[in-house]
Structures are given as structure tokens and as C-alpha cells.
Chain A
Amino acid sequence: MSKTAEIFETMEYGPAPEQADYVLDWLQGKPGGFQHFINGVFTSGKSGAKRIDSFNPATGEKLTEFPAAGKEDVDAAVAAAKAAFPAWSALSGHERARYLYALARLVQKNSRFLSVLESLDNGKPIRETRDIDIPLVARHFYHHAGWAQLLDQEFPDHEALGVVGQIIPWNFPLLMLAWKIAPAIAAGNTVVLKPAEFTSLTALYFAELCQEAQLPPGVVNIVTGAGETGELIVNHPDIAKIAFTGSTEVGRIIRKQTAGSGKKLSLELGGKSPFIIFEDADLDGAVEGLVDAIWFNQGQVCCAGSRLLVEESVAERVTEKIKRRLAAFRIGDPLDKAVDMGAIVDPVQRSRIEQLVSQGESEGGNVWRPDIAMPETGCFYPPTLISNVSPSNIAVREEIFGPVLVSMPFRTLKEAVTLANNSRYGLAATIWSENINRALEAASQVKAGVVWINTTNGFDAACGFGGYRESGFGREGGREGMVEYLKLRKEWTDPEPAAPQLELSTDASVVEIDQTPKQFIGGKQKRPDWARTLPVAAHDGKYAGRIAHGNRKDIRDAVEAAFKAESWASTTGHARAQILYFIAENFSKRADEFSRRLVQLTGVTKAKARAEVDATISRLFSYGAWADKYDGLAHSPPQRNVVLAVNEPIGVVGITCPDAAPLLSFVSLWAPVIAMGNRAVVVPSERFGLLATDFYQVLETSDVPGGALNIVTGPHAELVKTLAEHDQVEAIWHYGDTAASTFVEEASAANLKRVWTNNGRGRDWKSPSTGEGREFLRRASEVKNIWLPYGD
């Protein structure tokens, strides 16, 4: 019987190999392996002979090798970038746009080559590199050519940062390069990028495209190497920003290492993203969505929908459908055009997957795998479903970073959301329901930077991507992503020394009725935990009053109260505005009293004191105004889809206030925080704490819900430490000296708080352009991108 006749009987699929010879020829054309790309030329590197081998994970064969950059190489790359920065950032947006456009075109023209090379190097199926990775790379450069073109009009008060250090992972090698390089150079920065040591080849091919595009030397520098090279970049003093995509573990290290350096930081880290199926979903569509969620790129996706939450009434049917679907799975040669999954990037990763799955199994999980053909050689792992697990199982808690799905049932939307949010991570969430009310309700409640409704793993250059919580901070893509590569031209002033501590000349209150200073926690005046107070001196050293001497337990109580005041987050912007205006109204009635207090404490003239009080009233009005106006965006990706970029509160925000303009700065810091729906725990200036304790009486009369705004007075050193180390505090705005800033940034690494520190610098609080506005609101919010495809 002829082969054709045989196949006619069985109707099997056959091999469908993608041609790769021309790509292998290119690799073989570099017999000594690869070099770094520094200052527009390829250079073998100076730092000794250490080389890294590059393997094809599908076969285990060595593809080529490249150098591991040492200090001299990284120094050379940073120096080249630094030298290129002035001219590159001085180009007009249009001139930079032309380069980005050329890069987009070159990626497109070489798209099949890049697809094959990526598949060879990473092990991912050619379907994905050809249909997803590489088209998105080109799209990213096109889109950001547009941002370069529009930069001056759209970001008028901003400028580039300088040299940006970028460290990218191995799961989407060229795509992550594009996500990093395109916005950075569009904004006028220059770049030193390190690709992952498992997958450096497409980055090096991209370097050739940079030459072809005649990108000015030094604008893009690519150094290869492993973790030590990354560390050299992270710690380099001439780098203004670090952008990192990778594991949460490494993200924490980078956060600590950059603490106090003044480097801007964006981290796109791990996840354990929920995939929620409601009973009224298109179940077949949802199961196919799961395939795209957790069995995409072998599950090696930071935003993989790895935790299936399915409504109990349909759980059994969904499980059957998943099993049926996986029974038709094809795993094999990534260059075969008819496989669903390719190879795991490296045996190290496969061992990690195996270990987590077996641990999950030993903790009671039921592990199921389809009975399908697996390649006999190469680094492969079958699609896996683990059921009978609860949130305590390691397979549910840990990011497995492989094709492994855990499944849990839920009863109600509320329970689904609670399970979804029961995680340290907050990168993405997927929701399937044909009921738009239910879907949007769940979308609003999940803690995730990206929410896909009735779709999954949607990516586009126009839409922001990035996480909540320990999934990192910063966004990539869209307007929100551009901001990460820009800074305000005039944000800071020279350091302002803290107000000197004064010797009290007397410790007796003679003129007024004795006042008992307290903390303001949960809407009530609370005595400090250890019932101690501190005397406060007036500007002339005379006794001015006492403030509560707060300690770590007061901070604990204040954070607890703030956490419980969750309803503030869902209070409408209009209602929050009314409360801010009401605070202003009540405060204005006591303008004279606060003016007197300012004069007493700071020694300013009556007129200046009055001006600060008036500025404070105005500031409260500003945030009353903003509370219902800091709108999100509707992005336009090239699909039939609307993507809503919604600004959401972060959660509990800790604030420590400076001595400068003590009344105005105090209000300027918490007003935007609560205007956006966060709850604040404020530690006022130590020296001028009486202004804050006077202020809580205003708050008490202004309908501020208990816990939305809490005030704890006392010595900064101890209070800041507790705040910075508190895992329920999700962001911290800190004013202090550089040592304190360094401490706060370091301590924040544990739960990856969003940190905004002055790093010892000052701020002009009086100026509306630096003392209030969008930058404050941006820092007080998380952007959640909600993808809503439509069509009937």
C-alpha cells in the first residue's frame, strides 16, 4: 500500500518542518561564537576568556557560544551609552521616530529568520514565534516610533533619564528586548541591555539590525552574560534607570541593590495568575482560552493563567473538556508547524517543574496528564493538570513556570475573587462569563495589572502591562509605559536640611488648658501605645505643646485600621471629592488658628503663615477637583477589542512628611493619596507634629471615614522602619535624608512596595507644578488594563 493510501486510512498528521538551514548557516558563519555589541560595533570583550554555551533545548545540541561580560565590558558599554546620550536625547522626536520606524521595518523584513532563530534558541514552537513573538516585536517598534514622534506634544514637561540598564528574561527573548528598547530610545534614553544567558541569539541578530538601521553608535549596547553581568549593570553608578523582567526573587535583590542610588526602577516579575470560569461562560471557548493561558510557551509565561478557578456547578464538565482537549495535544520539535508545545528552555527549569509538581502531589494533589506521544530526547514536559488542591498546596502558591495548571472550584463571585486575590502576586487575571455585569464586577475586584475578559494573554504595544503587589511595579506599553522612561524636568530642589531640634527653654504650659496629644487611628483619637509623649518646642525654644510618642504598635494599629477601611477604595470619586472639599471648608474656618500655630512653630511672619494656610486650602480644593477627574484611558490595540486602562487605588500607603512648609507638605502628601481611594498612614514632621494633631480635629468634623486617613506622631526613625517593613503597606512616600531613603527602599523589597522617596532632596511645595498634580496622582494609583473583546 502506498504511503498516501495508508494515511488515507489513518488520517494522521505528518511532519511539517520549518526550514532552518539558512539560520544555522548564519550561526556557523561565526565560528568563534558571538561578541558584545558596544558603541555600534561587535567586540569580543576584554574581561578574560569566560564564554557561555548556547544550546538548542529541543535537541540538547550546542548552537554557538558568546562571551560573559565582565566589569570592563559593562563599563565600556555604559560609557558608550553615556557618550551617545546627549546627542540622541537632543534629536527631535521625529528624527528618533525615523530610526524606530526603520527598526520596525527591519524586524518585519527579517521576520521569518528571527522566528526560526528564536525557536531554535528557546525551544518555543515556530507557530508562536512566527505568529505572536515577532509580529509583536515589529508592532512595538512601530507603536513607539509614534511615541517618539509625539513626545514633545504629549509629554511636554518631561525629559529622558540618561543611560538605562535593561535585563531581560529567556521566555520571550526578542519580545522582551523590544518592550525594553523601544520605549527607552523613543524617549531619548540610551541603553545597555543584557539578554538572558539561555537565549541571547536574537538580541545579537537585532544588534546587526541596529547597524543596518544606522542607529547612532552607543544608543543601543548589548552585552551578554549571566547574573554577574546583570549585577554589574544594576550597580553601575552611571546608569539612571534599571528595567528588569524576571523572577520576583531577583527583583527583590535588584530593589535592594539599587536602594538609595537614585536609580529609577521598573520590575516586571512573577505571577500565579487566576483563570476564572463562571458557569455562564462559553465553556469550550474558556477551555481553549486555558490552552492559550497555561499551555502557551510551555507555561513559561509570567502572566500564565496557572490557577484555574471554576464555578462548582460546571467544574466537572470543564475538567472533562480540558482532558479531551489535552488528549489531542501534540508536543514535539518546536520547528514543526503542527505542534502545540515545544521544549522547556533548559533542563534546570524542567527539574524545577518536576520538583514542584511532585511536592504538590505529595501534599495531596491529583496529578493528571494526557496519554500523548512525547519526544524521546530533548527537554520536554507534558501538559499537566493538578486537582484536589487548596490554597495551602505548594503547587497553588508557587509560580511553577511550566505547563502545569492547578484547579480549584468556587461557589460565588465573592469566593472566586477571594481565592484569586489570595496570593502574593498580582500580575494578570482572566475571567470568562457571558454576563458583562458579572465579568466587570470580578474585573474590578481582582488585584491584577492586566485583566482579560473572555480572552487571555492578549498583548499589545498600545496597552499597559505590569503587576500589582509582588509581581512588580511600573508598566510596559502604552502611555503608562512611556512615563517609565521619562522624568519631570523640574521635580526636585536642593536638599533642605531638617529643622534643627531646639532646646526647650521651659516645659510648662501656662496660657491654655492642657491638651492631651493623641494619635488619630481609625477615625478616633487614640492614646499612644506606651502612653508617652514628647515635648515640642516653638521656634524660639519655648514650650509649644506635646505630641504623642508613637511606636511600632501604633503603626501596626494604624495600618490595621487603614486596611479595614476598604470601603474608601470603592467610594465614588464624587463622594471623595465632597469630603476633600469639606475638609477644606472646615479647615478654612480655623485658618487663623493654624496661622498662629505656624508662626509659633516655625517663626515665619504672619503673612507667610497665612499664605501657607491659603495654599493648603487651595491644595485641598485641587485634590477635591482631581478626585473625579484622574481618568483612565481606552487603548486601541489592533484587535476587535476595547482595552480600558483604569486607575485604581494601590491600597494602604505610608507617608512620612518633611519639615519644609510643614502644613502644606503634610496635606500635599496625603490629599492625593486619599483622593485616589487609598488609605493613608501619615507620620507628620517630627518637629512640627502639632500641626497634624491640630488637623485631626478638622478631619473629625469632615466626614472622613474612620481609617481612611490615620496620623501617627513620633520619632521618624522608629515609625518609618515599621512602616517600610510592614507587608500590608503597599506603597510608601517618604521624605527624609538619603540614609533614610536608602533604608526605606531596601526594606520595601520584602513585599515590593511602590516607593517614592525624596532621596534627601527638597521640593517646592508652593508651586502648583511641583507641589501637586498628575505626578502625585500617578504615584497614588495602579493602572489596571482590562481587555474586553466584543462581537456577537
Chain B
Amino acid sequence: MNQTNVTTLKSRGAPTPDAHGDIARNPGMPLETDWIDAIRVNRSAAERRITTLAGRRTVKKDWQAAWLLKAITCMDLTTLAGDDTDGRVRRLCAKARQPVRPDLLEALGVEHLNITVGAVCVYHVFVKTAVKALQGSNIGVAAVSTGFPAGHTPFETRLQEIKASVADGASEIDIVVSRRHVLTANWQALYDEVKAFREACGPAHLKAIIATGELGSISKVGKASMTCMMAGADFVKTSTGMEAVNATLPVSLVMMRTIRDYHARTGYKVGFKPAGGISAAKTALQYLILLKEELGDEWMTPALFRFGASRLLGDIERQLEHHATGRYSAANRHPMG
């Protein structure tokens, strides 16, 4: 292992013991196509696991409230729209600092936990605005910076974009992989691409978006994830949010299991980020349950798990208010982001 490549990922967000834990950064490794070829995923079995898990595990009452707070701390609060402006981004950052009404936190007895989201996720042009708006908060800024969402801009342009984002203060870069490399099973090309991106990131952490909805086969989800991890990804992420099908529990299961295998073989923990379409508190809980079951408690920290979401927070706030008051809540009672 090349020690110079190993930095630690200081997690942001809630100052909980696990979130402060120092996790050795995945340095990557040479491409091992044997590992990739051996990956086999049975879709029906993956779906059955998800279906039955929904009946095997649930969290209620105080447990549910605590888990929802955890979901907030693991959130990349995101805006990736054509009509984004600096003003919109600043508003989002304000929400990131104070995601839940203080009176509710007090009612839940968690005001001392300092609940914030994990990061704010924006297009490159808003990185500076976001960094400024989040100054002094420990909340990182993630940028989508490689010809997002299709990744079809020139390779050099994509590298430049990453470097520019890092220079502007982004601490995390969400890159998109070239789906064509996955579809043609050109693992070497995928590996080289992600490895170059990782080098361009420098100290910033790389989240590799594999766009599961465009890979055509569930086995490819595992293979693409494994290749990205070998290339040094700090996180693997399901989707851009722009595909026809974004994060689903079955593909998340496959990615988590691939992360588990990579950890078992190399000793490095890689993070997981489902993104796109996760808008209900209940769904978020299902992801956290799957995470606990498949990767274990160690992964239940913003250092190793994030939701990419724009609407999820609103539903969680309403559920927390219901928990605190016993009354069903309304959206307009919670400050918008």
C-alpha cells in the first residue's frame, strides 16, 4: 500500500463518535479482471432479499426518530436543475445548516447532536457560492463535475472540470462513468478513466456514479462497482438522478455486497450513495436497514453512506414532527430549502 495515498476522511455533519472515526481512504489497486469476471448476481434472488427484508426489519417510535435523524446526517442535500441560481443555492445551504426546526430537535431531546446534512451537492458553477454559504459549518460541498449527467464531454475537459471544482473548494467530486465502457465490458477503459479522475481529485473524495439504470443487467452493476473501487473510488453511487430508473433497493443491495467483498479482500471501506427518487422517509429507512444488514453498523455514518436527495428532507421533517407531537404535520410548517 502506498502510504502517501492514504489520507483520512474526516466526516462532516453531526459530531457523533462514529462520524468522527478516521477511515482509511481507499487507495485503489491494480485492475483484477478475474475478480470482475467472477461476479454473478441473480436478479430474482436480489429482489427476493429486498422483498423479504421489508418484512423482517422495521423501526418504530423513538427508534424511527433516531434513524430518521441519522438519515439527515447522511444526506447530500442536492440541487441539480437547469434553473439553479446563486440565490437558490444559498437558500439550500441555509437549510443544510439547520435541516430541522430547533423546537422539534428540542422536543426530541437531540438539540446537542448538532444535526446537519452530510454535504450540499451542486453543479460546478455553484461550488464557490456554496462553500461561502457553508463557511464555518463543517458541511462539505460536493460537485458533479465530469460532463454530468451523460459524461460525453472530452476526457481532458472532464479532468479540468474536476480540478476546477477542487480549486473552488469542493471537498467531494461526484463523477459519472462512461456507461459505454460498462456496456462493452471494457473494464480496463473504465478503470483507467476513474483512476485518472481520482488523481485529478487530489484530496477531494471521489464518488463514482455508475448509472445503474443504464447498464442493462444487474451483474454489470456489481462489475462496474468493483472496477471503480479498484480504481480508487471513495464512494460508489447508483445514479445521477437523471436516468429513467435511478436508485433502487435491489441495485443498492448488489453495490453494498460488492463493497463488502472489496473490503473483505483489501481491508478498505468504500462508501455507498444511492441517489435519485428517494423522497419518502419510509424509503430512507429501508435503505438504512439494508445498509445495517448488509454492511453493518460501521457503515452507518456519513463517512461511508450518503443519500443523494432533494425532496427527502421535507418528508423526514414532517415525520419527526409527528413523532414529537403525535399530530400529522404539513409541509408549510417547515422552512424550505
User: A792 with B45: in contact, given A3-B62, A8-B110, A13-B63 (CB under 8 Å)?
Assistant: no
Closest to A788 in B: B44
Interface members, chain B 54-83 (any A CB < 8 Å): 55-63, 65-67, 69-70
Contact A282 B109 (CB under 8 A): no
A340 within 8 A of B: yes
Contact B58 A337 (CB under 8 A): yes
A748 within 8 A of B: no
User: A15 with B60: in contact, given A640-B44, A791-B43 (CB under 8 Å)?
Assistant: yes
Q: Is the interface of A mostly helix, strand, loop or mixed?
A: loop
Neighbouring A residues of B46 by C-beta, 8 Å: 282, 285
User: A281 with B40: in contact, given A1-B109, A2-B108, A12-B63 (CB under 8 Å)?
Assistant: yes
Of the candidates B40, B63, B113, B218, the one whose C-beta lies within 8 Å of that of A280 is B40
Neighbouring B residues of A283 by C-beta, 8 Å: 40
Neighbouring A residues of B218 by C-beta, 8 Å: 791-792
Contact A5 B113 (CB under 8 A): yes
Neighbouring A residues of B281 by C-beta, 8 Å: none
For the complex, count residues of A whose C-beta is within 8 A of B: 44
Neighbouring B residues of A3 by C-beta, 8 Å: 62, 109
Of the candidates A5, A131, A790, the one whose C-beta lies within 8 Å of that of B44 is A790
For the complex, count residues of B whose C-beta is within 8 A of A: 44
Neighbouring A residues of B57 by C-beta, 8 Å: 13, 330, 338
Neighbouring B residues of A5 by C-beta, 8 Å: 66, 108-110, 112-113
Contact B70 A11 (CB under 8 A): yes
Interface members, chain A 285-332 (any B CB < 8 Å): 285-286, 288-289, 292, 328, 330
Neighbouring B residues of A1 by C-beta, 8 Å: 109
A792 to chain B, nearest CB (A): 5
B293 within 8 A of A: yes
Of the candidates A4, A286, A288, the one whose C-beta lies within 8 Å of that of B66 is A4
Closest to A288 in B: B49
A599 to chain B, nearest CB (A): 65
A543 to chain B, nearest CB (A): 70
Neighbouring A residues of B58 by C-beta, 8 Å: 16, 337-338
Contact B257 A792 (CB under 8 A): no
Contact A285 B49 (CB under 8 A): yes
B266 within 8 A of A: no
Contact A8 B16 (CB under 8 A): yes
Neighbouring B residues of A127 by C-beta, 8 Å: 52, 55-56
Neighbouring A residues of B42 by C-beta, 8 Å: 281-282, 285, 432, 434, 454
Closest to A454 in B: B42
Which B residues lie at the A interface, using CB under 8 A? 16-18, 40-49, 52, 55-63, 65-67, 69-70, 108-110, 112-113, 216-219, 257, 288, 292-293, 296-297, 300
11 A-B pairs whose Cβ atoms sit less than 8 Å apart in the complex: A4-B62, A4-B110, A5-B109, A8-B69, A13-B59, A281-B42, A288-B49, A337-B58, A340-B56, A432-B42, A454-B45
A500 within 8 A of B: no
Neighbouring B residues of A455 by C-beta, 8 Å: 44-45, 48
Neighbouring B residues of A95 by C-beta, 8 Å: none
Listed from nearest, the 6 A-B pairs whose CB atoms lie closest are A2-B109, A285-B45, A14-B63, A7-B66, A789-B44, A791-B43
User: A791 with B44: in contact, given A2-B110, A8-B113 (CB under 8 Å)?
Assistant: yes
Of the candidates A4, A9, A338, A434, the one whose C-beta lies within 8 Å of that of B65 is A4
Interface members, chain A 759-792 (any B CB < 8 Å): 789-792
Closest to A5 in B: B110
Within the assembled complex, what's the spacing in Å between the Cα atoms of A8 and B59?
12
Neighbouring B residues of A12 by C-beta, 8 Å: 63
Contact B61 A14 (CB under 8 A): yes
Closest to B320 in A: A4
| Most chain B CB within a 10 A radius of its CB, from A11, A14, A289 | A11
Contact A289 B45 (CB under 8 A): yes
Neighbouring A residues of B217 by C-beta, 8 Å: 792
Contact A11 B40 (CB under 8 A): no
Within the assembled complex, what's the spacing in Å between the Cα atoms of A791 and B48?
12
Within the assembled complex, what's the spacing in Å between the Cα atoms of A15 and B60?
7
Closest to A281 in B: B40
Within the assembled complex, what's the spacing in Å between the Cα atoms of A282 and B292?
21
Contact B60 A9 (CB under 8 A): no
A284 within 8 A of B: yes
